[in-house]
Structure 1
Amino acid sequence: MTPDLIVLADTIHTLDSHHAHPLQAVAVSGGVVAAVGSRQDALDWQATGTRVVDLGSATLTPGLVDCHIHPVFGLDLTIGVDLSSASTLEEVRALLRTEAARDVDWLRGWGLNPNAFGTAPLHRNVLDDVSDGKPAFIRLFDGHSAVANSRALAVAGIHGRYEFEQASEVVCDSDGVPTGFLIEAAAMELVQSHIPKEPFDERKSRLGALLRDFARSGLTGGHVMDHSDESSALLQALEDDGELPLRLRTAPWCMPGSGEGEWKELARTIGTGGRRWSIEAIKLFVDGTVDNGTAWLYEPDLYGQSTAPFWPRPEEYTGAVQYFASRGIPTATHAIGDAGVEHVLDALESLRGLVPADILRGTVHRIEHLETVPDDLVDRFKGTGVVASMQPTHCTHYSLADHSDNWSTRLGAERADRAWRCRDLREAGVTLGIGSDWPIAPYEPLPIMADAQLRRRSGAPEQEPIAPSQALSALQALEGYTSHAAKAAGLWDVSGSITVGKRADFTAFELDPLTADPDEFAASSVLGTFVDGEIQFLLERLA
C-alpha cells in the first residue's frame, strides 16, 4: 500500500461496528479508505509522496451528509431581506421599509415566520404602505407560501380565484378579491414568473459561495430535494471550475397533472450528472404544510383546513410511485400530516406483488418531514424498509413546548404532542436521515445535531424542550448525518462509515460529537472536511 493521504486524529469514530479498538489513523488511496489503525501503524504506511495531515486532539468521523437541502432552489428563496429574525409584525414592516429604500425593482423578502403576525391575517395591506410603490413578493419560512402586495398582483394580472392541477390557491376574500396570500408553488409562480431573472454568472457565484460555506460547516454531501435544467448547468459549471466541494445527490419533482409521458422523461434523467453530482431519485409531494393549512390530516385543523391532498386525485400519486419503483428508481415523498404519511405508506406497500422482489429490495424509498403521526403509523414503519427523513430544527425553531406557536395551535394539543417522533422511529428500527431543509432552516449541522438531542434550540437553555421523549442520543444524531444518511440514499456499501474500500469522505471536529455537551458542541468548530480523500476545507491553523 502506498497511500496518497494519511489523516491522524486522537479520536476516530468509524461508525463501523467491526472496529472495536481505539483508532487514530486513516490511510487513503485513490479516493477510498485503504487502511485504518493506530498512529504507530501510520508510520509503517507512510511512503514518499504521502501527505500526512495531523489533526491532533480532533475527532474524525465519516463525512456529514445533509439529507434534505435545496441549494439551487434556495437561491430564489433567499433573495432580498432575511425576515427570519422578526418576531413581531412591526419588526417585519421595519425590515421591509429598509429593504424598499434600496435601489431594487422588486421588494423581496424571505424566511417570514407566521407567528410574527399573531392573530392578524396574512394580507397584502401589510406590504402596500412599506413597499415604496414597488411590487413586493415575500416568502414565508416554509417555502410553500408567499404574500404579494397590490402592485405585484396587478403586474401578474391576478384579479380573482384560479383553478390548479395541484392543491394550490390564490386566497381571496368573501368578495372574490385576492388577499395577496399565495399558497403552494403554482399560485406563487403566477407572480414569480414576472420577476426579472438573476444572471447565470451571479447565480453561479452565489451557489459556489454557498457550497463552500456548506463545506466549512462540516458537510461533505447533501441530498438535494429538487432539480432543474438550470441545476445541471450550474453544478456542471462549478465542477468544471473545480469548485464543487461536496457530493450532491439530486431529485427532480414529479407533480400533479403529470402522466406517463412526463414520468418517462424524468426516469431518463436518473444516473446523469458529473463526478460529484448526479440525479438519483424522484421527489413527490402528497401535502403542503401545517402552517399554511395545506397539510393532509385525518381531521381538520383549528381553522377547518388541512384535509386535502396535494394531488387532487391521490391514486395518481400512487400510480407515479409504482411507475418509478417498478424501474428501480428511488422516490422521496414530502408528507407532513398523518393522513399524508398513511397514504404514502399505502402506496409503498402496494409495491409488493407489483414490483419484482429483487428490484424492490434494491431500491430505497423515503418519506420526508413526518411532522405529526400517531402510534399506529410509527408501528407501520417496522419492517417496511421505508426511510424517514426528518429535520429536528423544524421542531426547535418553529414550535414551542407550550403549544402557543402557529403550528401547534392549528393542530391542537393531542396532535402537537406527536411532534417529530425521531426517537420512536429509531426505536422501531427505522433508518432516520437528518437534515436541515435549507433555506427553510439554517444548514449548520452541529447545531442541528445538538437540537436533535436537546429538543430545543442549542444555546438557549432557558427554553423548555419540545416533546423531550423524542430526543436522540448523541450517537443517533451522528448516525443521522453519516451511516443512516448513506442508507437513506442506498449507498451504505460505499459510504457512511470509515471502512476499507469505502469513499474517503471525512469530517473533523474540535469536540467529540459523542461525548461533548450538546450546547458546547453546537458552538464549537469544524476543523476540516475531506471528499474523495481531497481536502475541501481545513482550518487555517491546521493547514
Structure 2
Amino acid sequence: MSVLGQSVAVYPPDIRSIDGLIEALRTHPLLGCSTDAWVRGHGFDDSKFAERRKPTAQDLDKVSRDQPVALRRCDGHTMVVNSRALAIAGIDAATPDPAGGRIERDESGEPTGVLVENAAIELVEAHVPPDEEDPADRLAALDEHFLSRGLVGVTDLFATFIDDPLPAYRRAAERGLSPQVVIYPGWDALKSAAGSHIVPDLDEDDRFGRVKIGGVKLFMDGAFSDRNAWNEDPYPDSCHHGGQVAADDDLLEAVAWARHNQVQVAIHAMGDRALNHVIDLFGDEEPWMGEIPSIRLDHASLFTPAMIDRVNAARMSFGVISHTIFFFAEYEAYAANLTQEQFKNAYPIRSFYERIPHSALASDSPATAWADSDNVFISIRAAVERRAYDGSDIGQEQAISVGQAVLLYTSRASEITRLHNLGGIRPGLEASFVVLDKDIFTVPTHTIDSVEVSQTWLAGEKRYEA
C-alpha cells in the first residue's frame, strides 16, 4: 500500500460513480502545485459505477488538463490517464499496441486513455519521475496498520513499484516495520534492471531472514472483472476468451532462474486456460523447493475438479493461493462475466482445502475492489457464508468452517510462503499471535467481519493493543 505513495484511494463502497471519482481526485495534495506533478489514484471498480463504464481521458481532463493524471483500476490490470499523460508518453492513434498489452481506442482510432495490462501501462509509467521520498519510510509507517490487523507476516507479490525492494524493506524493518516480509519481484522488472545482462543470482543473505526474497512473479493472464482472464470458453455473449500475458519463453526462463536460485515462481493465473497452460508447461518437471511448492498458482479462480486432479497427479509441486474477497466484493462483474457452469467452478475453496494440502487464502490487497480488503475477517466471513457483500449466493457448496478458513490464512499460508515459525502456537514457533475482541468460533457468522484485533504479539512481545 505504501508504494502507492501520494495516491488517492477511490475504492468501493466509497466511490460509486465517475463523478464521485473526479471529486475524489480533486483532493490530491499535488493538484495545482506544478504542471510536472502527477495526480494519481487507485482502486476504482467500473462495474459498480452508476455510469456502467470506465472513466476516460476526457473524464480525467476534468481533474486537470495541465497536469498528468493516472488512475489504476482495483485489479491493477488497467490504468486510465488523461490527455496530458497521453501526450507526455507520446501515445496517439499511430502508437501500436505493445506485446501483452492493449491501448483502447475510440471509433476513430484515437486512444481513449484506457491502458490494459502492464505492457501498455508501462508506456506511461516510464515517464513518471522517481519519488524522492525513501520508500522505507512509508513502509515503516505501515507498521501500526499491519499490527492493528493482526498481520505478523506479509508477502509483496509484485514488488516492482519500489526500486531495489529488498534493501528498502530491510531499511523499513530497521525503522520499525515489524512483520516478516517475503518479496516476489516481477520477472519483467528484474530483466529490465539487468538490461542486456543476465538476471543476477541471489546470494544466501537475499533468501533468508525476516525480510527476504521468496521468488519471482509473472502474469499468465488478466482479471475476470475486466474480461482479461484467459478462459477455455468464451465470455458470455462474446467470442473473447481473454488472453495470455507472459510469453512461454519468459515463463521457462523465470523457472530456470528460480530453480538455480532456490526460490519459488508465483504465477498470476485466474482463468482455467491460463491455469491449464501453466500445468501443461511445468507439470512433468522435477520440483526444486523440497517440502514447499516450487510454483505458486496465484488467484486460482476458475478451477474444475479435473484440474485439481491434474495438480495432484503432477510431478511438479504446485501451491494454490486463492481468495474469497474477489467474489465477495466484485460479485456484479463475476455474475456478468461467467457462464453458469463457470460460476459453479469459481473459487472452489472447500475443494482446495480438502484436496490440495498446499493451498491458502490471501487478500491481494490493495488490488481488490474493496476499501477494507486486508481485513482478514471479511474474507473469513465470505469463505464461511459464501455470500457477496449484497447477500448474493457465491457458491454455498464451497463454504468451509471458521476453523478451516483460519487455517488457510495462518498455518497453511505460512508453509507455502516460507514465513518461518509463524502460523500457529506451539513449541518451536516464535510466539507471534493475536488476541481478538470476540470469539470468532462462536459469534454468528454474519458478524465475523465485525471481529477486531485487541492485541498483537510478535516473538513473545506485545506490540499492539487497541
Q: Which has the higher contact order (CA 8 A, sep 6+)?
A: 1
Partner of 2:347: 420
Q: Report the residue type matching 2:299 in the other structure.
A: H
Q: 1:366 aligns with which of 296, 317, 321?
A: 296
Partner of 2:166: 232
Q: Which residue of 1 aligns with 2:400?
A: 472
Q: Which has the larger displacement, 425-434 or 479-488?
A: 425-434
Q: Which residue of 2 aligns with 1:386?
A: 318
List aligned pairs for 1:243-392, cutoff 5 A: 243-255=176-188, 265=199, 267-268=201-202, 271-272=205-206, 275-302=209-236, 303-311=238-246, 313-325=247-259, 327-352=261-286, 363-382=293-312, 384=314, 385-392=317-324
Partner of 1:222: 154
Residue pair 1:285, 1:310 contacting (<8 A) in 2 also:
yes
Between the aligned partners of 1:244 and 1:476, the Cα distance in structure 2 is 29
How far, CA to CA, are the matches of 2:300 and 2:434 in structure 1? 28
TM-score by length of 1: 0.75
Which whole-Å CA distance do the structure 2 matches of 1:509 and 1:454 have between them?
Answer: 20
Are residue 213 (structure 1) and residue 145 (structure 2) matched?
yes
SS at match of 2:352: helix
Amino acid at match of 2:451: S
CA drift of 1:195 comes to: 3.1
Q: Cα deviation per residue 1:510-533 (whole Å; 9 max; x = unaligned)?
A: 222333323333212212222222
CA contact (8 A) 2:223 2:229 kept: yes
Aligned match of 2:17: 88
Equivalent residue in structure 1 for 2:7, among 57, 79, 86: 79
1:329-372 per-position Cα deviation (integer Å, ceiling 9, x unaligned): 222111010011111222331213xx67xx55565421100122
Q: CA deviation at 1:91?
A: 2.7
Query: Matches of 2:341 and 2:204 in 1, distance apart?
Result: 41
Q: 332-341 or 268-277, which moves further after superposition?
A: 268-277
TM-score, length-scaled by structure 2: 0.86
For the 8 Å contact 2:157–2:217, the answer to whether it is kept is: yes
Unaligned ranges ≥5, structure 1: 1-70, 400-404
Deviation at 1:416, TM superposition (A): 2.8
Q: SS in structure 2 opposite 1:381?
A: helix
Establish whether residue 108 from structure 1 lines up as the match of residue 60 from structure 2.
Answer: no
Alignment-derived partner of residue 381 in structure 2: 450
For 2:189 and 2:67, how far apart are their aligned partners in 1?
33
Cα 1:482–1:293 change in 2 (3 A) is same
Instruction: Please give the secondary structure, in 1, of the residue aligned with 2:20.
Output: helix
1:479 is displaced (CA, Å) by: 0.3
Given that 2:9 and 2:42 are in contact with CA atoms closer than 8 Å, whether structure 1 keeps it comes out as yes
Q: Distance in 2 between matches of 1:500 and 1:191?
A: 51
**Cross-structure match for 2:126:** 193
Distance 1:264 1:211 in 2: 35
Instruction: Specify whether residues 288 and 156 from structure 1 end up closer, same or farther in structure 2 by C-alpha distance, changes over 3 A only.
Output: same
The 1:81–1:223 alpha-carbon spacing in structure 2 relative to 1, beyond 3 Å, is: closer
Q: Which aligned segments of 4 or more residues in structure 1 are displaced greater than 6 angstroms?
A: 259-263
- Whether the 8 Å contact between 2:300 and 2:320 is mirrored in structure 1 is yes
Contact 1:474 1:515 in 2 (8 A): no
- Label 1:240 to 1:121 Cα distance change in 2 as closer, same or farther (>3 A): closer
Counterpart-to-counterpart distance in 2, 1:96 and 1:244: 29
Distance 1:434 1:265, change over 3 A: same
Q: Structure 1 residues 269 and 147 mapped into 2: Cα distance closer, same or farther (>3 Å)?
A: farther
Partner Cα separation in structure 1 for residue 207 and residue 260 of structure 2: 22
Q: 1:266 to 1:472 in 2, by over 3 A?
A: farther
Question: Which secondary structure does the structure 1 equivalent of 2:224 belong to?
Answer: coil
Distance 2:224 2:346 in 1: 12
Q: Is the 8 A contact 1:250 1:281 kept in 2?
A: yes
When residues 328 and 204 of structure 1 are mapped into structure 2, their CA distance, relative to the original with a 3 A threshold, is closer
Structure-2 change in CA distance of 1:477 and 1:317 (3 Å): same
Q: Partner of 1:291: helix, strand, or coil?
A: helix
Partner of 1:466: helix, strand, or coil? coil
Report what 1:22 is aligned to. Answer: none
Indicate the SS of the match to 2:7: coil
State the shift of 1:396 in Å. 0.1
State the 1:134 CA deviation.
3.0
Partner amino acid for 2:217?
A: K
2:443 to 505, 509, 516: 516
Secondary structure of the corresponding residue to residue 334 of structure 1: strand
SS at match of 1:200: coil
Partner secondary structure for residue 155 of structure 2:
strand
Q: What corresponds to 1:179 in structure 2? A: 112
User: Could you give the per-residue CA deviations for residues 82-112 of structure 1, whole angstroms, max 9, x where no partner exists?
Assistant: 2432223333334345559954533322111
Identity %: 25
Q: Deviations over 1:131-177 (max 9, x none)?
A: 36432211111111111111211122111333434x11222234332
Q: Structure 2 unaligned segments of length 5 or more: list them.
A: none
Partner of 1:37: none
Name the SS for the 2:154 alignment partner: strand
